[in-house]
Chains A and B, each alone.
Chain A
């Protein structure tokens, strides 16, 4: 039986109470994307500046629960200043963390059963740094959508910026 401490790690509560990179960049030139969680009504706005293949700046706006807000905050800190290739790789690793565990859970997983199940347990947790604090979320399948909302929105923003890594 997973406990609340698996979900609400101290890092998560810290980012929830003091979110990093809050606000919106001026758009244009920034790319602005809105994400919605239809389950809970949460809305997130991600604005990004892409310069020379680098995610030069990112801001997060909108409202949500502690998991979606802290995940967005942690994400913004992790991707800012990184090359687009690195950002895409980080997104992939994070979503893998969210789906691998999910696939090993009993069959009530929530996130559309995503993830090609072929690569078990090879994610590089160390590469995720503070983001690893979110791995407890997978024990609470309903909350996976909260944690992945900002990441899906960022992916959409990268796609719309017209640059693929």
Chain B
């Protein structure tokens, strides 16, 4: 599987001469990447939206379904116990992967990261925030980390403050302490899904805590692409989705500090989340099940566990090193080929960003770019990327976005460049 070979061009700050990976070999683990679209082998550059799954993930889910499936935490028969054990093993596995101090108690399975963030707004927000309380967001947040707070603002009258970005797509922190003054919560993305910007989350968490605010991090784009350690980040809550990290759709994760989760009331009500139900009320379950009403996504948890195993075997340092190298190649190649005809948003240096390249190409609308690229089998996203406040800050309605994962290599970038060239000629 993971062919770990020394790479000559290392030299990045966090992976100095560390291992890298052979994307061409890894890509063979992903069945979808061998299919053809419009007569050409697919070039999948939309992993920031959803990643593809390796056979080991698909096989694990199928094997579970064929041999073990039963509802969890209920039956006393053999396969029900096995199902429960595998479901809880996936939880612990995910927790260890992100450095959770108490992995079996701090990982809550949700439908996706959006639900995880809504859980925070609904459970923690409603029991802690009152009129006039302050939640701080950044201009680069995904709608999933904006709208739940808007909804709480409409319901509770809380105040939303915004950390701005500069023209390179970096957070402007000059007034950070002023913005954080009196705040109850900082909600920040680890890595922008549009700009690729890697935010200084550990520093932000330190300063937020100094101001008395908790920190919830949107780690959707971080967990699949770089080593993530919740203890090192120092955040209080962290959300991510399985389907962006080689796992299935239908399951996401909310990690929270044990004592914090224990202090939070339930989210949805139903089975599984209770210890007792009487005619006059109910007693909520212990964490993490308190937040998991109803039958959870069991097969998907097994798949997520397998995805974590795969990523761990490849090595997140190697993934990060590979994506820095590939992003640098893409930045150089696109700029060399198209010069002023292309504008790439976000930090100019590959080391400062993840493998997400949003761009404007001449005057061609992103929808049209994406349509032409599709003819070449190249899959990119066109639109506002669920980040309309950021789009307004950039002064555009939409961008085209190419995003990488560990299975992409320089040939994918070359195909993108050729297809863009064709799009330019078509609309010339």
Binding site for B on A (CB under 8 A): 1, 4, 7-8, 13, 39-43, 63-67, 69, 140, 143, 146
A21 CB to nearest B CB, Å:
19
List, sorted by A's number, 19 A–B pairs whose CB atoms are closer than 8 Å: A4-B372, A4-B426, A7-B371, A39-B383, A41-B388, A41-B391, A41-B397, A41-B398, A42-B367, A42-B398, A43-B397, A64-B367, A65-B365, A65-B366, A65-B367, A66-B367, A66-B368, A67-B367, A67-B368
Query: Which residues of chain B have C-beta atoms less than 8 A from A40's C-beta?
Result: 366-367, 382-384, 397-398
Query: Which residues of chain A have C-beta atoms less than 8 A from B425's C-beta?
Result: none
Asked whether B371 lies within 8 Å of A42 as measured between CB atoms, the reply is no
Give Cα A140–Cα B370 distance, bound, in whole angstroms: 12
Question: Which B residues, 373 to 403, have Cβ-Cβ distances below 8 Å to chain A?
Answer: 375, 382-384, 388, 391, 397-398
Tell me if B282 counts as interface (CB < 8 A to partner A). no
Number of B interface residues at 8 Å Cβ cutoff, please give it.
17
Asked whether A41 lies within 8 Å of B384 as measured between CB atoms, the reply is yes
Report the nearest B residue to A64, measured CB to CB. B365
Binding site for A on B (CB under 8 A): 38, 365-368, 371-372, 375, 382-384, 388, 391, 397-398, 426-427
Give Cα A140–Cα B365 distance, bound, in whole angstroms: 16
Query: Which residues of chain A have C-beta atoms less than 8 A from B388's C-beta?
Result: 41
Closest 4 A/B residue pairs (Cβ): A65-B367, A41-B384, A65-B365, A41-B397
Asked whether B398 lies within 8 Å of A8 as measured between CB atoms, the reply is no
Asked whether A65 lies within 8 Å of B426 as measured between CB atoms, the reply is no
Most buried by B among A41, A42, A43, A69: A41
Report the nearest B residue to A4, measured CB to CB. B375
Give Cα A67–Cα B391 distance, bound, in whole angstroms: 21
Query: Which residues of chain A have C-beta atoms less than 8 A from B382's C-beta?
Result: 40
Task: Please name 4 further chain A to chain B contacts, defined as beta carbons within 8 Å, in addition to the given A41-B391, A65-B365, A143-B367, sorted by A numbering.
Answer: A4-B371, A4-B372, A64-B365, A64-B367
Query: Which residues of chain A have C-beta atoms less than 8 A from B365's C-beta?
Result: 63-66, 69
B144 CB to nearest A CB, Å:
15
